[in-house]
Structure 1
């Protein structure tokens, strides 16, 4: 393998090494990131050190697991680089979580919980993730561990794993996500809309937290999420008997998202080209008021949530029969095509999760501590950003020199089937074995 890429990496890492501010750490960081990018199936510390030869296991282990350095400056440097690559008004900030299957019970945060990658409950760690993306180019900018109550209720367990005091209090995944969004914004990263799946969208406090921050968002919701018609009015009913009513109530009952769109007009729309052709589904949308206001007893209906924010309710009927529902506070004049494009843009973070695990060893860390896990995750994100930066620069050079493509390569023929698949799905990496990184770049 050509080792020249390591010098490219060290040049690119200059802002990160300056943030570390220490000669030895500035040597360990490139060695660790290079170990994640380079050849080898296993990306835990021991095999990476064995493959490197110049850096010992003890040195790498100390750097990740116990060294006294602050990750915040490196996290900020990562956000600066991500913003330079893909940030802007057309960028998405995608909130999701990813599970790392784990045996035993001593690794920080490990517990039986739902693992999205496996589609079932499993013994695992769960990381809340933030991805900055534009077009089909994602850059992972945040991975923060979720601690189940079985951990936060056990001070001894927290202490043994080295969990900082300010993270030892139970926080839901939406609460962690909002804190991470605040960190991203404070670092100056630019994005136009926050996206999240129903695991976050079902949280009214999460949606309201986004709106209170002045952010535009589009999130998944359960089909049973209650909504009101957009023209719902608050009336002051006259009591037939008993004491007079003291509070206004809605003039109509709330209904489920599914029921609200049952009679809506549906349109077939395509949002992007996949490896097997255009991706299509049927969509419908209506303006509604979300039933997430203060709860109030309304006659025989019992306690009901009052109308909240006016938003879009969007439905999607997939070709396999699945039906999905979403809410968004995009402007009232937003087209259905734009709404569909927004809710379907979230898929790119799932690809990023897969690549961080399969190619960069996100789930290969064998330590048990809070500090070690988060530092390992940070190094995988830095490695991922470097590879994305390389591809963007390569694509720009090819755009300036379109004749540089090898004529003998069938992928250089814009009319070939191979090229269409490659453009839609992947670009080969000169550094490691495969890597499926989209070539569709933001304009």
Structure 2
């Protein structure tokens, strides 16, 4: 019976080593190769706050300079590292029916100097706040789901301001792009990179953009994209709004189905879909309006759908349900991996921090599949090992035992020396102006 409770710690370590060796090949010198490994290990650690100081202390460095150099000044291409992560995900989680999920998340920030920051609506806060916004691409398959790519949203107030761009190190090639345009670029990159996928899903910000839908049809990617109740579509009775279509449906049009497993049970809703033959274009395929009705409140949600081939209702419902997987990824990366804890104002540093968080999350997701694929690894009375639980186990069993105890004393000395220098500087400066 004890064998059933064993974990795959050695296989997790081998998987981590393989990913870090692949990423490490992007660095010409051994120092950044070691540091990037230590940096990702620090992201996986249960540190109360994650920044270059705490990660350097966790790694046993003699100061934060090396980690700050890795994020801000060292020579490496974060886009190529994300390509490595995408290939890793394709190998470990890839499936012919893979789903690409697009969504943005916001990080609340103070001041006006952090790249991309302005007062704008943040879905994370649910209101207008001073924040950064970034569009993320997630990959979901029957094996798991993880973030794979990202694009920072640069508002016009930044894109059209040469001084702010220069101060934040925004490349000249970066121009203003809407969030759907950023999502399209991320999807184009994933498809060109060979990530196996068949579907795309996203919320109203993406479903309301006709250019994105056209681009997906050109890729022959099916989609289930949320739209507003006022979204207009061509029908046999003329152009109608989504809400009008729903109001005209008979009671027999609705079917009760689950959009997937939830922590508290199956996520049942009432669903209906309407064929839209008038929406056909040069890409062929089938168009639908998918409608979801809350069983308790009767609240409606609407989705524009397309597939190069006919599919049953339950297939569209499944794709719609996978949209929530990216929210789980945001929660896991913010609560456990420090996605929103970066303290970097410049373009390059922001992308590097976020890229390494994505790498850490992809590793955890892939490692979790090693456990769920083993018949004996999930005995009765236990759920499968989650990403959050695997992060705790990996640190306790693999990372922590390798750390010398002297590191704690070394960093205590370093912090106190730094604080002494800062205190002396403050008193010296005060003495110049005070009697």
Q: TM-score, normalised by structure 2?
A: 0.82
* Change over 3 Å in CA distance of 1:46–1:289 after alignment to 2: farther
Task: Pick from 147, 159, 162 the counterpart of residue 140 of structure 1.
Answer: 147
Alignment of 1:242-281 (within 5 A): 252-264=237-249, 265-281=253-269
Alignment of 1:186-225 (within 5 A): 186-225=192-231
Segments of 5+ residues of structure 1 without an aligned counterpart are 233-251, 294-307, 406-411, 434-443
What's 1:340 paired with?
317
Deviation at 1:166, TM superposition (A): 1.1
Work out whether residues 44 and 364 of structure 1, in 8 Å CA contact, stay in contact via their aligned partners in 2: yes
Distance in 1 between the 2:386 and 2:293 partners? 24
Segments of 5+ residues of structure 2 without an aligned counterpart are 1-8, 397-435
Distance in 2 between the 1:132 and 1:187 partners? 13
Task: Pick from 383, 389, 409 the counterpart of residue 428 of structure 1.
Answer: 389
What secondary structure does 2:366 align onto? Answer: helix
What's 1:178 paired with?
184
Q: Tell me the alpha carbon deviations over residues 249-300 of structure 1, each in whole angstroms, 9 at most, x when there is no partner.
A: xxx531101111222211111232322222100111011257799xxxxxxx
Work out whether residues 20 and 74 of structure 1, in 8 Å CA contact, stay in contact via their aligned partners in 2: no
Work out whether residues 92 and 366 of structure 2, in 8 Å CA contact, stay in contact via their aligned partners in 1: yes
Task: Pick from 318, 328, 331 the counterpart of residue 305 of structure 2.
Answer: 328
What's 2:23 paired with?
16
What's 2:276 paired with?
288
Work out whether residues 288 and 312 of structure 1, in 8 Å CA contact, stay in contact via their aligned partners in 2: yes
Work out whether residues 204 and 292 of structure 1, in 8 Å CA contact, stay in contact via their aligned partners in 2: no
What's 1:240 paired with?
none
Aligned CA RMSD, in angstroms, stands at 2.4
Residue 164 in 1 paired to residue 166 in 2? Answer: no
Work out whether residues 130 and 140 of structure 1, in 8 Å CA contact, stay in contact via their aligned partners in 2: yes
Q: Tell me the alpha carbon deviations over residues 405-438 of structure 1, each in whole angstroms, 9 at most, x when there is no partner.
A: 6xxxxxx32xx4xx3xx359777221258xxxxx
Distance in 2 between the 1:385 and 1:292 partners? 37
Task: Pick from 60, 65, 69 the counterpart of residue 67 of structure 2.
Answer: 60
* Change over 3 Å in CA distance of 1:103–1:427 after alignment to 2: closer
What secondary structure does 1:258 align onto? Answer: helix
Deviation at 1:320, TM superposition (A): 4.5
Count of residue correspondences: 379
Q: Tell me the alpha carbon deviations over residues 63-118 of structure 1, each in whole angstroms, 9 at most, x when there is no partner.
A: 10122222232121111101012222111111111111111110000111111112
Residue 89 in 1 paired to residue 66 in 2? Answer: no
What's 2:411 paired with?
none
Distance in 2 between the 1:291 and 1:90 partners? 24
Task: Pick from 14, 29, 41 the counterpart of residue 36 of structure 2.
Answer: 29
What's 1:370 paired with?
347
Work out whether residues 287 and 332 of structure 1, in 8 Å CA contact, stay in contact via their aligned partners in 2: no
Work out whether residues 279 and 287 of structure 2, in 8 Å CA contact, stay in contact via their aligned partners in 1: no
Distance in 2 between the 1:292 and 1:140 partners? 32
What's 1:110 paired with?
117
Distance in 2 between the 1:426 and 1:48 partners? 20
Q: TM-score, normalised by structure 1?
A: 0.80
Task: Pick from 279, 282, 287 the counterpart of residue 311 of structure 1.
Answer: 287
* Change over 3 Å in CA distance of 1:314–1:431 after alignment to 2: same
Distance in 1 between the 2:111 and 2:64 partners? 24
Distance in 2 between the 1:423 and 1:431 partners? 15
What's 1:393 paired with?
370
Deviation at 1:50, TM superposition (A): 2.1
Deviation at 1:331, TM superposition (A): 5.0
Distance in 2 between the 1:165 and 1:203 partners? 26
Work out whether residues 31 and 55 of structure 1, in 8 Å CA contact, stay in contact via their aligned partners in 2: no
- Which of 189-198 and 318-327 deviates more? 318-327
- Which of 74-83 and 326-335 deviates more? 326-335
Distance in 2 between the 1:277 and 1:380 partners? 30
What secondary structure does 1:260 align onto? Answer: helix
Deviation at 1:217, TM superposition (A): 1.3
Work out whether residues 33 and 379 of structure 1, in 8 Å CA contact, stay in contact via their aligned partners in 2: yes
Work out whether residues 35 and 67 of structure 2, in 8 Å CA contact, stay in contact via their aligned partners in 1: yes
